[in-house]
């Protein structure tokens, strides 16, 4: 039954990534929440007239503070909401096991999922920055390198947190549930309800120790043209490392 | 087939979960080109045994070789010799049949052409259907295709027809025979006697983690007491003592004048001459072979 394949064949991992990308595009709900919701929320917030006026207490306009927050919302939605049920579902429904019967390790599915969700989060964040700049005249980050570094660390932490939820949840339904439980504190710490700067002192001290709290501060400082404080970058790095290690430690293939 | 060494070798396989032995000293070999059945009740350790063969589980003891390879240590090499359909497994719900075939073909260095494979399995009309929209029988046929797509020498089919309607089950049996005709060795796990009897060259009967018998289906049936069933209604009463004296008699039952005997060919011959001697006619005489069902109950009965 041997066959000669004349066409150049994609590498196995590329084939897995391609198939997952196709499936990713078929999830309309997931696509809306990852790519549509954060920019939409930014447009809604930007449409509030008072948010576009200079705020004495903040030292800038509210919308200026909200752009980094919505960049974080994009990463939180992809990492905590979109990805965990998919990966846990792949384990629950034996898809990872099925793949381990082939010459390709099932980790190819996980890397593909993390890559696709990471890319979707980055894209959504870039759309938010662009809308902020074009529609609401929000300056692009002045300290671009610092912003990029803080951003990449946050992407890593968000994906690692998502992977940890996938690792711990026995079913896709529970993964979605746990994702929800972590989702709201994450949005809060990213400053969605109230900017982190305007939080009471003690609360703020706690929030900046959380991954998305530290991230929101680091992004804001870089946006304003400063190199992000090492304390924030340190907190982010620590979370990224610990969450990745924990996800790797507790992940089960079946 | 020129090769004489078995393609699957399992010796003294042991696997326990939480101190409870699920597979306990299981040994068998499968020759190239054979359909080898592993038959047993639910929870007997059939799936655990084949999962060790597939390299999905690490045995606690014993030795397994697939074409000379260790399923755990040489896992990557084994995946190219052995294809499998898992008992409980799905694909991504929104993946179409064509995409699944293309994807799995891309995972192997020397895959089969998936088009003739899809044709053979009657999937050609379903290529653009998503996995989630397939019927149970179609899903199973797709999993058989995926098991064969790497051009394996052995396929493991685990509870292939469970949950299928009788029609789809029979269609699937034909496919399994077809797979073997294509030169692929089949390791078939089932709890359906009829399926094992119809398809398998040899059967290992597993009960509570141990092999209780290993033989051809006919061999298993004939080694059970009462492998031939004779039933008839005599035209005149027969003497019970005469009946009881029949050779190789295993069971005797008299229900409203209809007598059912379990025995062997010898019993049949002796019964016919007994009837002739007494000039008794046997109305509605039926002589049937016992099925694997009867053999199975007989062979596992001792452990219950």
Same domain assignment for residues B97 and B164: yes
Domains held by chain B: number? 2
State the DSSP H helix or E strand holding residue A191, giving kind and residue range, or none if neither.
Answer: none
B35 within a domain of the structure (yes/no): yes
Q: DSSP of chain B, one letter per residue? A: ----S-SEEEEEEEEEETTEEEEEEEEEEE-TT-EEEEE--TTSSHHHHHHHHHTSS--SEEEEEETTB-TTTTHHHHTTTEEEE-SS----TT-BHHHHHHHHHHTSSSPPPHHHHHHHTT-GGGTTSBGGGS-HHHHHHHHHHHHHTT--SEEEEESTTTT--HHHHHHHHHHHHHHHHTT-EEEEEES-HHHHHHH-SEEEEEETTEEEEEE-HHHHHHTSTT-EEEEEEESS---HHHHHTSTT--EEEEETTEEEEEE-HHHHHHHHHHHHHTT--EEEEEEEE--HHHHHHHHHHTT-
Do B228 and B153 sit in the same domain of this protein? no
Tens of pLDDT, residue by residue over A100-113, are 999 999 999 999 99
Looking at beta carbons, which residues of chain B come within 8 Å of A104?
Answer: 107
pLDDT score of A1: 47
pLDDT(B44) > 50: yes
Q: How confident is the model at residue B71 (pLDDT cuts 50, 70, 90)?
A: very high
Determine the residue of chain A that is closest to B55 in CA distance.
A101
**Mean pLDDT of the region A233-241:** 96
Give a yes or no: residue B1 inside a domain: no
CATH code, B198:
3.40.50.300
- Measured between CA atoms, the residue of chain B closest to residue A22 is B95
Are both B146 and B245 inside the same structural domain? no
pLDDT at A235: 97
- The answer, yes or no, to whether residue B302 has pLDDT greater than 60, is no
Nearest CB to B106; choose among A15, A98, A99: A15
A79 CA: distance to closest CA in chain B (Å): 20
Q: Does some domain include residue B94?
A: yes
CB A227, CB A142: distance < 8 Å: no
Judged by a CB distance cut-off of 8 A, whether residue B107 touches chain A is yes
The distance of B193 to chain A (nearest Cα, Å) reads 27
Residue of A nearest to B99 (CA): A19
Among the candidates B164, B180, B215, a domain finishes at B215
> Containing domain of residue B269, as a range?
222-301
If asked whether residues B186 and B282 sit together in one domain, one would say: no
CB contact under 8 A, A101 and B79: yes
Question: Both B139 and B16 in a single domain?
Answer: yes
Residues of A in contact with B110 (CB under 8 A): 2-3
A19 in B contact zone (CB under 8 Å): yes
CB B88 within 8 A of CB B158: no
Question: What is the C-alpha to C-alpha distance for residues A117 and A34, in angstroms, rounded to an integer?
Answer: 9
Contact of A94 with chain B, judged by CB distance below 8 Å, is answered with: yes
Tokens representing B289 are: 């072979």
* Residue B161 shares a structural domain with residue B73: yes
Do B115 and B233 share a domain, yes or no? Answer: no
- pLDDT, residue A7, reads 60
In this complex, the residue of B91, B106, B151 whose CB is nearest that of residue A2 is B151
**Percent residues over pLDDT 90 in chain B:** 60
Contacts of B74 in chain A (CB under 8 A): none
Residues B61 and B174 reside in one and the same domain? yes
- Of B183, B199, B215, which one is at a domain's C-terminal end? B215
Residue A220: pLDDT band (50, 70, 90) is very high
CATH of the domain at B272: 3.30.70
Nearest to B143 by CA among B66, B74, B88: B88
For residues B132 and B291, the model is more confident at B132
Whether chain B has a CB inside 8 Å of the CB on A8: the answer is no
Domain's final residue, options B192, B215, B238: B215
Interface residue A1 vs chain B (CB under 8 A):
yes
């Amino acid at each position: 039954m041997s066959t000669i394949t004349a066409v150049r064949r994609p590498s196995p991992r590329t084939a897995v990534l391609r198939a997952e990308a196709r499936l990713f595009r078929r999830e309309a709900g997931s696509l809306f929440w990852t790519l549509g919701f954060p920019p939409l929320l930014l447009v809604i917030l930007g449409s509030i007239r008072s948010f576009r006026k200079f705020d004495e207490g903040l030292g800038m306009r509210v919308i200026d503070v909200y752009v980094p927050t919505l960049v974080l919302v994009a990463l939180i939605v992809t990492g905590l909401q979109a990805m965990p049920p998919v990966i846990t579902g792949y384990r629950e429904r034996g898809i990872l096991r099925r793949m381990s019967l082939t010459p390709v390790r099932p980790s190819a599915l996980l890397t593909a999922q993390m890559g696709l969700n990471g890319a979707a989060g980055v894209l959504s964040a870039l759309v938010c920055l662009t809308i902020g700049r074009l529609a609401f005249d929000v300056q692009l980050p002045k300290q671009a390198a610092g912003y990029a570094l803080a951003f990449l660390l946050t992407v890593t932490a968000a994906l690692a947190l998502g992977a940890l939820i996938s690792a711990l949840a026995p079913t896709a339904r529970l993964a979605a549930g746990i994702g929800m439980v972590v989702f709201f504190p994450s949005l809060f710490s990213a400053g969605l309800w109230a900017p982190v700067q305007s939080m009471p002192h003690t609360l703020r001290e706690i929030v900046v120790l959380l991954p998305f709290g530290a991230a929101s501060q680091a992004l804001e400082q870089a946006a304003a043209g400063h190199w992000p404080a090492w304390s924030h970058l340190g907190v982010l790095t620590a979370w990224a490392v610990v969450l990745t290690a924990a996800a790797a430690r507790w992940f089960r293939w079946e | 087939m020129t090769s004489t060494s078995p393609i699957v070798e399992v010796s003294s396989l042991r696997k326990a979960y939480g101190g409870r032995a699920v597979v306990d000293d299981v040994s068998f070999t499968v020759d190239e080109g054979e359909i080898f059945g592993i038959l047993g009740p639910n929870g007997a350790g059939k799936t655990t045994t084949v999962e060790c063969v597939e390299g999905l589980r690490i045995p606690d003891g014993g030795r397994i070789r697939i074409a000379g390879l260790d399923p755990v240590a040489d896992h990557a090499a084994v995946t190219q010799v052995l294809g499998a359909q898992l008992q409980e497994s799905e694909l991504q719900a929104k993946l179409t049949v064509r995409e699944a075939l293309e994807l799995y073909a891309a995972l192997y260095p020397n895959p089969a052409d998936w088009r003739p494979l899809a044709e053979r399995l009657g999937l050609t009309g379903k290529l653009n259907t998503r996995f989630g929209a397939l019927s149970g029988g179609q899903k199973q046929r797709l999993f058989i295709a995926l098991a064969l797509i790497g051009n394996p020498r052995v396929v493991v089919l685990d509870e292939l027809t469970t949950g299928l309607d009788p029609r789809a089950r029979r269609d699937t049996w034909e496919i399994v025979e077809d797979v073997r005709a294509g030169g692929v060795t089949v390791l078939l796990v089932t709890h359906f006697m009829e399926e094992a009897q119809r398809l398998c060259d040899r059967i290992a009967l597993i009960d509570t983690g141990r092999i209780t018998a290993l033989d051809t289906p006919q061999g298993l049936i004939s080694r059970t007491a009462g492998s031939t069933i004779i039933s008839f209604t005599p035209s005149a009463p027969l003497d019970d003592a005469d009946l009881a004296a029949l050779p190789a008699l295993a069971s005797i039952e008299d229900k409203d004048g209809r007598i059912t005997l379990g025995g062997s060919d010898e019993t049949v011959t002796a019964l016919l001459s007994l009837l002739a001697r007494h000039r008794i006619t046997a109305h509605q005489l039926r002589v049937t072979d016992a099925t694997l069902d009867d053999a199975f109950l007989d062979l596992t009965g001792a452990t219950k």
